[in-house]
Structure 1
Amino acid sequence: MSTQPKISLLRRKLKEEWLFDCQCVRCLDSTEFGSYFSSLKCDCKGFFCKVVKDDIKEKLVCSNCHLEKDLFSQLKSETDILQTIQNLNDEVKLLELEETLLKNKNYHKNHYLLFALRRRYLDIVDIKSVDDLRKVSRLSKHVIDVLQLIEPGCTKIFGRYLSLMLESEMRLLTDAKKSNRIDENEFRLRMKQVIQGRLKAVKLQSNFVK
């Protein structure tokens, strides 16, 4: 095991691609506020979130078992995957790619590729059915969960996805009520909670929020 100083994977990426050594709070935290947003997952359930360099080459180090592994070829392939995600305009293909990534043992629910994919889906989705509403609700929830880790606080982007999630949930509640899957009391209670959340989402998307 190398005894050389370790740096976060995110800082290493920024230095390589943008030629500067970032000193922000998130970059100095190798876990990226517990999200492991840029990190691959180890078989032991830890995360390859630190980089160490010996006399020969760089390696990634697991946060749990401390295994050192060269995964940089996979990291480089992520650039192509991200480009594919950004160029995809097909909802079905995006969901198929999500399933493929989740089957890869190195990716996890908070990984930035899955975050980008879910945002892309929400950007292009044309809601035509109750099933589409369920997908929007699920994917919005994932995006919100990650945002709360990597960008905590009141932000416009958080407000946007909160609004998407709550709008889909409002429509799902209405459908459930019409289909008699929930009674009037439950419908009113849950709808009240959704409306309160939507008021918050509207405020977050105002010009007074960054």
Structure 2
Amino acid sequence: MAFEPLRRREALSRRAVGSVCLAMLVMGCGAARPGTRSPDDRVQAPGITVDHAVAEGTGDPPSVEELLEAAQPEPPKPSRSAPPDPEPLQLAEQWEYTVLHQGGEVKVEGVRRLLFPKPVVTERRMGRYAIELWIGRELVERVRFDFPGLGAEEPPQTGRRPLHAPLSMTEGAEVRARVRVPASPRARRAVLVDRATDAEVELPWPPEAPLPPPTAR
């Protein structure tokens, strides 16, 4: 009959599909092993167990030092963009500031006018503090300075003080420094800057109510 070849082809196709499914089942179970049960199990049920890896840790609790280090806040980062020192000014007229460091605070205690016979070049030195002269966004002059005996002191840390931290001399110290700033006619504002903590205090410019101008020698 004409239908016999068609039936034979269908039977062969079904056998091929069955062989493929059986092969896939064997491959999928190749990595598996029979399920296990503990002696306490009362009911034994068939099953399979597939091997897998589990991440392992040390299991040790963190030390006290690690906990204290994690609890300490990070020191604040300075956000003030400080331009480099400009060319030093050469002026015969100067302002001498008396700056007071008392109880961790810094302020101007007094100011007087000085007049030299010849122009004086502004000294360039290192220092945590500075008096800066500005006109708009242009830095006209920067005079750095430190307080006697406190130059090596670091700024106080925020948060809790460490148990074995060395004593700070800045907390109860009362020290004065004399800072000579050129009387720049271009400057429009003056600023007292703590370059370690990024703090600044506006100063009058020109200074108000100066002392009688002595003649410098």
- Settle same-fold status: TM greater than 0.5: no
Instruction: Considering Cα pairs closer than 8 Å and 6+ residues apart, tell me whether 1 or 2 has the greater RCO.
Output: 2
TM-score using structure 1 length: 0.19
